[in-house]
Amino acid sequence: MRKYEIVDGRVKALRDFSDVKKGEVGGYVKGEHNLSHEGDCWVYEGAKVSEYADVYGDAKVYGYAKVSGWAKVYGYADVSGSAKVYGCADVSEYADVSEYADVYGDAKVYGYADVSGNEQINRKTST
């Protein structure tokens, strides 16, 4: 069952789920390949997911965060603030990437990892 449609490049909820209400307008996506219709994943207003990046599961992208390239954000992961996840990076499980952090290259951030501030991660990180 579809949970959103794309209107002028932004996602618009077609039903209630998680903390998202029907009719709520979220962030920008390049296409439906960027955000799954399954789970409670969402791209909130101000955030952007582009190129071939993929957000799925119960992951959330919000604030002014950007996810691009072939990056994947999934599980219960959060990407927020002005953080960037790009390249072939994976952010998963309960990981939190926030503030001005950059996760890129072949980085894998997972478990309960917290990447914040001005950190730049391009390798495997977990807690």
- HEC-encoded secondary structure of the chain: CCCEEEECCEEEECCCECCECCCCEEEEECCHHHECCCCCCEECCCCEECCCCEECCCCEECCCCEECCCCEECCCCEECCCCEECCCCEECCCCEECCCCEECCCCEEECCCEECCCCEECCCEEC
Q: Which stretches of the chain drop beneath a pLDDT of 50? A: 127
pTM of the predicted model as reported, rounded to 2 decimal places: 0.95
**pLDDT for position 124:** 64
pLDDT computed for residue 62 by the predictor: 97
Q: What is the pLDDT of residue 94?
A: 98
Q: What total number of domains does the chain contain? A: 1
* Structural domain for 55, as ranges: 4-126
pLDDT at 122: 86
Can you give the pLDDT at residue 126? 54
Domain CATH number, residue 25: 2.160.10.10
